[in-house]
């Protein structure tokens, strides 16, 4: 069927046109990138509808010869949904902060910025759709370098150091992932997820190579958690997110690290198998570190004086939630993790441009005391911040609440009381740091005038409104979204 | 109780930390390493903190080295636990490898089996790999193309760098360069064009071509090299090669997936025009690799084209 060619286009369009954006003038290159992104979004939405209507997953062989000899893409409800989500958030992030890109990025780098975004989009789609662990690694490399470029593309001071740290931690992570992949390959001789799963079940049953299997799984886990900033490896995150231009911060926090986590979810449930994953004991380590991440990330966020750093540290805690759900090792928990990925992405990708606008109307100072009353000076940004913060804290009707409910119900399903405790403690901590900011931005300041600013920023307003709606949709339609995700997972 | 309320109030008002902990944040730490002059007054004020920092750094170094050694030991020990490579009792089934060897020539018409594996069977991965090169080039361009902060100073510094970096007028070097250049370019093209019939292909041939360009730049100087390979040419060649590469691969994926007969026949194995679209793909990959190598060299040499 014709629509089944969509997965190929989703990767090839942004990949092929990325090199064109590099030679175009900044404006044309921005238009091309946004156009490609919109086309990808429409295509992936069509794909999602078709998959839901047909109710079955399909594979796309890349070339005449199918897997295991060639490469293969696999699309179920989950992959289609994740692709729609990534494309949508990419488009909205770029629209919301497009004005800021002009200010922060030197004119002779602007085209290259959009090239990098385009390549990033291709890499995200490829990581989402691939059914082959090595293709996953190849596109992971692209997204790693693209993410580093997104950090140092702005002229702000400190970005070079931040991207240096990012690069060191992430290359170490990539290396470990590659080692782990090589070990699994040498045990099974397969790169395709389903074939690898069958062979690994044999290896596990035989028991002769269980040490090597454990090592491979551990290396993949450590590598990908380094790349997605799980607690002990999160040190690269605050500077990278808070110093780069808001568009980069949105993309980095809500797409790049999330794509790595989605790849990890796919690897453990499609290629390693949840049984093997639970038996190896990796899950317990992951549980401990993600519980620590939730608490320590929140405490770090409370200690910040700078609002963007506070939001960055809150990402550490939120990533902890996702890994917490993964460590339960059930299909239901995987669904909850994927839901949390999107609840957090939708909120975080909105918070960065909103906070940037609040800072902008407060004289460009990112400290809390200067933000007083900024919610009145930039009303839409204030509302966006409120919605985003409420979603992350877990106020009902918003995505974050439903995500926490799903994680908690997955935890109580397998009697994981430590996880429930971590969830409860961190909710209180989240309230402390977000309510403090909320109170600050809506507190009348005596030093500055509190007059409303009616400066209309078209891109920003449209994108932020869409983000707010997205958060509401994730909250109100949580049941439906969760059904799509779990339908897809049952087809894996 | 009152003081606690006061503290919390202050915390909400000003964002002051209620615990009163004055830890140096990561941001400030970055400043230390970036620009030591700026932190200097702070150093004088707080020598004790710096002392603690030194101790912490020493501890950090020692533990990092210990950790690395531990990793080396664990990974080496782990190699012992892996199945013996090529052993008969291992689970690794060489089904895939056997398929490539048995059907590679018949399917693709290329006598060098590695080339169809890279460009046809696992062509998706290679498409990604070529874009890894491209994004590395973009990242280096973003990083090193200095932002025009002060155009005048920038240009002056650039001109000064240009002059001092030009090679000496050395006749022997140039004479040898001329001979060598021809050989290198011909060899590079040979490797690219014969990728489907003999060892070689786009990646290796492109590397040879790129080395040739770099040699040319070093022998005849920047001004001569810019005449035929400036920034625009470099970018256009790369973009054209990558776009065509993606189009060809897209055609390949879509015809393959929809079981449509491809217009690229297999040809007579052993001739240049065999192996379907592999010849063209090799040319594109070669162009991308050579341009990436050359531009990385130029960027690291001067910071700009």
* Reported ipTM: 0.91
Q: Is the pLDDT of residue B31 over 60?
A: no
A153 three-state secondary structure: coil
A67, A77, A110, B112, B243 from B275: Cα distances, Å: 20, 37, 40, 10, 21
Model confidence pLDDT, tens digit, residues B169-225: 778 888 888 899 999 999 999 999 988 888 888 899 999 999 999 999 888 887 788
pLDDT above 90 covers a percentage of chain A that reads: 50
Q: How confident is the model at residue B20 (pLDDT cuts 50, 70, 90)?
A: very low
Tell me what pLDDT residue B19 has.
37
A130 three-state secondary structure: strand
Q: Is the pLDDT of residue B42 over 70?
A: no
Query: Residue A143 contacts by C-beta under 8 Å, 6 or more apart in sequence?
Result: A120, A123, A124, A127, A256, A259
Q: Is the pLDDT of residue B21 over 50?
A: no
- Cβ within 8 Å, pair B250-A148: no
Q: Is the pLDDT of residue A212 over 90?
A: no
Nearest by Cα to A240 from A253, A222, A223, A258? A253
Q: How confident is the model at residue A436 (pLDDT cuts 50, 70, 90)?
A: confident
Give the span between the Cα atoms of B260 and B201, in whole angstroms: 27
pLDDT above 90 covers a percentage of chain B that reads: 25
Nearest by Cα to A453 from A341, A373, A370? A373
Tell me what pLDDT residue A62 has.
86
Give the span between the Cα atoms of A238 and A235, in whole angstroms: 7
Query: Which of A20, A62, A64 shows the shortest C-beta gap to B243?
Result: A20
Model confidence pLDDT, tens digit, residues A143-202: 999 999 999 888 777 888 888 899 999 999 999 999 999 999 888 888 889 888 888 888
Give the span between the Cα atoms of A374 and B133, in whole angstroms: 44
Give the span between the Cα atoms of A77 and A81, in whole angstroms: 6
Chain B nearest C-alpha distance from A320 (Å): 21
Tell me what pLDDT residue A75 has.
93
- Cβ within 8 Å, pair B83-A186: yes
Q: Which residues of B49-87 are buried (b: 16+ CB within 10 A; e: fewer)?
A: eeeeeeeeeeeeeeeeeeeeeeeeeeeeebeebbbeeee
Tell me what pLDDT residue B183 has.
94
Handedness of CA A386, A38, A144, A164 (dihedral sign): negative
Query: Which of A19, A152, A440 shows the shortest C-beta gap to B243?
Result: A19
Q: Is the pLDDT of residue A41 over 90?
A: yes
Are residues A91 and A254 in contact, defined by beta-carbon separation less than 8 angstroms? no
Q: How confident is the model at residue B92 (pLDDT cuts 50, 70, 90)?
A: low
> Tokens 């390949």 appear where?
B252
Burial class (CB in 10 A: 0-12, 13-18, 19+), A170: buried
> Tokens 């551990």 appear where?
A218
Chain B nearest C-alpha distance from A420 (Å): 27
Neighbours of A56 (CB within 10 A): 10
- Cβ within 8 Å, pair B147-A108: yes
How confident is the prediction for chain A on average, in pLDDT? 89
Q: Is the pLDDT of residue A415 over 50?
A: yes
Neighbours of A291 (CB within 10 A): 24
Give the span between the Cα atoms of B258 and B250, in whole angstroms: 12
Q: Is the pLDDT of residue B35 over 50?
A: no
Chain A nearest C-alpha distance from B170 (Å): 36
Query: Residue A124 contacts by C-beta under 8 Å, 6 or more apart in sequence?
Result: A86, A90, A143, A255, A256, A259
| Residues forming beta bridges with residue A154, ordered by sequence position | A105
Length reported for chain A: 492
Q: How confident is the model at residue B22 (pLDDT cuts 50, 70, 90)?
A: very low
Query: Which of A19, A188, A238 shows the shortest C-beta gap to B26?
Result: A238
Indicate the pTM of the whole model.
0.89
> Tokens 């990436």 appear where?
B292
Burial class (CB in 10 A: 0-12, 13-18, 19+), A249: buried
Tell me what pLDDT residue A252 has.
92
Residues of A in contact with B27 (CB under 8 A): 158, 238-239, 242-243, 306, 309
Q: Is the pLDDT of residue A447 over 70?
A: no
Q: Is the pLDDT of residue B284 over 70?
A: yes
Chain A nearest C-alpha distance from B148 (Å): 8
């Amino acid at each position: 069927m014709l629509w089944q060619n969509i997965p190929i286009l989703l990767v090839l369009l942004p990949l092929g046109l990325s090199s064109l954006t590099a030679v175009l003038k900044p404006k044309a290159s921005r238009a091309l990138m946004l156009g490609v992104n919109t086309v990808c979004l429409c295509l992936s939405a069509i794909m999602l509808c078709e998959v839901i209507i047909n109710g079955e997953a399909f594979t796309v062989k890349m070339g005449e010869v199918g897997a295991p000899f060639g490469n293969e893409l696999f699309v179920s409800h989950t992959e289609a949904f994740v692709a729609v989500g990534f494309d949508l958030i990419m488009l909205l992030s770029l629209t919301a902060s497009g004005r800021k890109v002009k200010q922060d990025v030197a004119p002779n780098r602007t085209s290259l910025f959009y090239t990098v975004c385009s390549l990033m989009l291709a890499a995200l789609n490829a990581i989402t759709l691939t059914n082959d662990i090595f293709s996953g690694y190849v596109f992971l490399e692209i997204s790693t370098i693209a993410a580093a470029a997104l950090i140092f593309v702005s002229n702000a001071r400190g970005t070079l150091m931040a991207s240096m740290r990012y690069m060191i931690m992430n290359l170490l992570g990539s290396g470990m992932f590659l080692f782990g992949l090589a070990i699994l390959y040498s045990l099974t001789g397969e790169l395709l997820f389903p074939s690898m799963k069958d062979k690994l079940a044999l290896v596990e049953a035989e028991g002769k190579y269980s040490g090597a299997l454990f090592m491979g799984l551990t290396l993949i886990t450590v590598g990908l958690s380094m790349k997605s900033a799980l607690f002990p490896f999160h040190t690269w995150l605050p500077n990278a997110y808070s110093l780069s231009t808001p568009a980069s911060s949105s993309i980095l926090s809500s797409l790049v690290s999330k794509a790595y986590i989605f790849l990890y979810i796919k690897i453990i449930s499609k290629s390693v198998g949840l049984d093997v994953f639970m038996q190896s004991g990796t899950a317990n380590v992951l549980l401990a570190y993600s519980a620590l991440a939730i608490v320590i990330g929140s405490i770090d966020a409370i200690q910040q004086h700078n609002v963007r750093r506070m939001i960055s540290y809150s990402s550490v805690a939120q990533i902890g939630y996702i890994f917490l759900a993964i460590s339960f090792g059930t299909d239901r928990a995987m669904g909850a993790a994927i839901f949390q990925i999107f609840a957090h992405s939708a909120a975080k990708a909105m918070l960065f441009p909103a906070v940037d606008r609040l800072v902008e109307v407060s004289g460009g100072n990112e400290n809390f005391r200067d933000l007083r009353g900024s919610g009145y000076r930039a009303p839409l940004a204030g509302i966006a911040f409120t919605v985003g913060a409420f979603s992350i804290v877990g106020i009902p009707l918003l995505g974050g609440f439903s995500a926490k409910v799903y994680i908690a119900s997955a935890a109580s399903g397998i009697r994981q009381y430590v996880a429930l405790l971590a969830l409860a403690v961190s909710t209180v901590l989240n309230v402390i740091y977000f309510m403090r900011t909320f109170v600050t931005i809506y507190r009348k300041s005596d030093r500055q005038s509190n007059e409303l600013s009616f400066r209309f920023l078209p891109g920003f307003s449209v994108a932020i409104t869409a983000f707010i709606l997205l958060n509401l949709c994730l909250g109100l339609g949580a049941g439906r979204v969760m059904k799509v995700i779990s339908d897809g997972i049952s087809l894996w | 109780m009152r003081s606690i309320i006061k503290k919390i109030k202050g915390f909400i008002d000003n964002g002051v930390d209620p615990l009163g902990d004055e830890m140096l944040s990561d941001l400030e730490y970055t400043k230390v390493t970036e620009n030591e002059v700026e932190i200097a007054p702070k150093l004088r004020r707080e020598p004790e903190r710096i002392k603690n920092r030194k101790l912490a750094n020493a501890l950090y170094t020692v533990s990092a080295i210990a950790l690395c050694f531990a990793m080396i030991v664990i990974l080496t020990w782990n190699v012992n636990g892996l199945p013996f490579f090529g052993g008969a009792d291992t689970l690794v089934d060489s089904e895939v490898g056997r398929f490539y060897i048995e059907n590679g020539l018949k399917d693709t018409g290329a006598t060098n089996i590695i080339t169809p594996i890279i460009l046809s069977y696992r062509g998706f991965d290679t498409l990604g790999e070529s874009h890894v090169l491209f994004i590395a080039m973009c990242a280096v361009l973003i990083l090193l193309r200095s932002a025009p902060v002060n155009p005048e100073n920038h240009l002056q510094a650039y001109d000064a760098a240009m002059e001092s970096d030009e090679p000496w007028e050395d006749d022997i070097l140039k004479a040898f360069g001329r001979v060598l250049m021809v050989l290198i370019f011909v060899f590079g093209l040979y490797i690219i064009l014969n990728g489907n019939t003999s060892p070689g292909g786009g990646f290796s041939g492109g590397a040879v071509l790129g080395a040739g360009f770099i040699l040319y730049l070093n022998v005849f100087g920047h001004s001569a090299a810019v005449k035929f390979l400036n920034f625009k040419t470099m970018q256009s060649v790369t973009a054209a090669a990558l776009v065509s590469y993606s189009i060809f691969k897209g055609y390949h994926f879509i015809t393959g997936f929809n079981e449509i007969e491809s217009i690229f026949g297999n040809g007579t194995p052993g001739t240049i025009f065999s192996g379907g679209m592999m010849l063209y793909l090799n040319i594109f990959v070669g162009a991308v690799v050579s341009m990436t190598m050359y531009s990385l060299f130029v960027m690291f040499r001067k910071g700009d084209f």
